[in-house]
Amino acid sequence: MQSELAARIFGDRADPSERLQQLFDDYSTTMGAPPSAREWTAKVLRDRKIDAKLDPEDAVVALRRAYPRLTPKVARYLVEDARQR
């Protein structure tokens, strides 16, 4: 998988779900975002009173501020996952 530094410089080409598994150290067998990442996303958005369906860009910014290691692509992936729930 592409390193985090390379992703920031050249653009993230890794599968977001794989990168989330690595970042959250959660290699569960579920498809999509790992459960720990989903729970963390819900908590961050709830604490900041952001509705991902109404303010997706604010949600991306909030997630990246809460966890700076997230690339924009992965943060958007988490927001899209939250919007579907």
Cβ 23 vs Cβ 80: under 8 Å: no
Q: Which residues contact 24 (CB under 8 A, 6 or more apart)?
A: 34, 36, 37, 40
Convert the pLDDT of each residue in 1-42 to its tens digit.
777 777 767 777 788 988 899 899 988 867 788 999 999 999
Mean pLDDT of 74-84: 95
Site of tokens 């290691």: 69
Give the Cα separation of 18 and 25 in Å (integer).
Answer: 10
User: Is a pLDDT exceeding 70 seen at residue 51?
Assistant: yes
Q: Between 15 and 67, where is the model more confident?
A: 67
Q: Where are the domains of the chain?
A: 4-83
Percentage of the residues of the chain whose pLDDT score is greater than 90: 61
